[in-house]
Amino acid sequence: MVERGLLPYLVVSQTVPLIALAPLIVSWGGKVNILGFTWPKWLSAAVLGAFLAFFPIAVGTLRGLASAPSASLELMSSYAASWKQTLFKLRFPAAIPFMVPAFKLGASGAVVGVVVAEISTGLKGGIGRLIIEYAREATGDPAKVFTAVFGAAALGLAMAGFVAISDVLLMRNRPKETTT
């Protein structure tokens, strides 16, 4: 039920071109001044990275929360379990196999979002900025551009690998599922 209500909004959020959204976030962020906090430029890139990572994580989590077996849900209901108990003792553990691949996609997507944000906002010091600077010099040495591109790809793979290692470390004591 929640999935059917939220999924259309999640899909619509992903139809907005990221390169068009980046200048808006920089502009709106520049106007933020709450209790002396000023919006640093890197925060705009972080917001865009989080925006791009949010969709696969949200979809994977929603699918996972809906994946609990109906017999188990009936059992929790017969025990008069509250929705909170059902969420944390049944639905969330059932969602983990759906969430880990979603986090891998989200981690890689966050790298893409930050690189695109760096390119479109002119943020200095990042891989996106290196791609722009090296692209100007590409006629002399195209290997520099490929170095930055492969650096971004390596960072995306490293983030996905970090999620995979975290999964192994956190789930090592979980009992293995048996198939009949």
Domain membership of residue 88 (yes or no) is: yes
CA–CA separation, 55 and 70 (whole Å)? 26
pTM recorded for the entire structure: 0.79
Domain membership of residue 124 (yes or no) is: yes
Domain membership of residue 54 (yes or no) is: yes
Q: By residue range, what is the domain housing residue 165?
A: 2-171
Domain membership of residue 11 (yes or no) is: yes
Identify the pLDDT of residue 79.
92
Domain membership of residue 59 (yes or no) is: yes
Q: Residue 149, Cβ neighbours under 10 Å: how many? A: 16
CB 53 within 8 A of CB 110: yes
Q: Which two tokens stand for residue 162?
A: 């970090």
CB 114 within 8 A of CB 49: yes
- In the chain, the N- to C-terminal Cα span, in Å, equals 31
Domain membership of residue 180 (yes or no) is: no
Identify the pLDDT of residue 163.
92
State the DSSP H helix or E strand holding residue 38, giving kind and residue range, or none if neither.
Answer: strand 37-38
SS3 call for 27: helix
CATH classification of the domain holding 129: 1.10.3720.10
Identify the pLDDT of residue 178.
63
Q: pLDDT truncated to tens, each residue of the chain (180 aa)?
A: 667 787 788 788 778 887 888 888 888 887 877 788 888 888 888 999 999 899 899 989 989 999 999 999 999 999 999 999 999 999 998 898 899 999 999 999 999 999 988 888 888 888 888 888 888 876 667 788 888 889 999 999 999 999 999 988 877 776 676 665
Total number of domains in the chain: 1
| Nearest C-alpha neighbor of 144 from the set 157, 132, 126, 156 | 132
Domain membership of residue 176 (yes or no) is: no
CB 54 within 8 A of CB 110: no
CB 75 within 8 A of CB 29: no
Q: What DSSP letter does each residue of 149-165 carry, written as one string?
A: HHHHHHHHHHHHHHHHH
User: Where would I find the H helices in 17-142?
Assistant: 18-30, 41-65, 70-78, 83-86, 92-121, 127-136
SS3 call for 17: coil
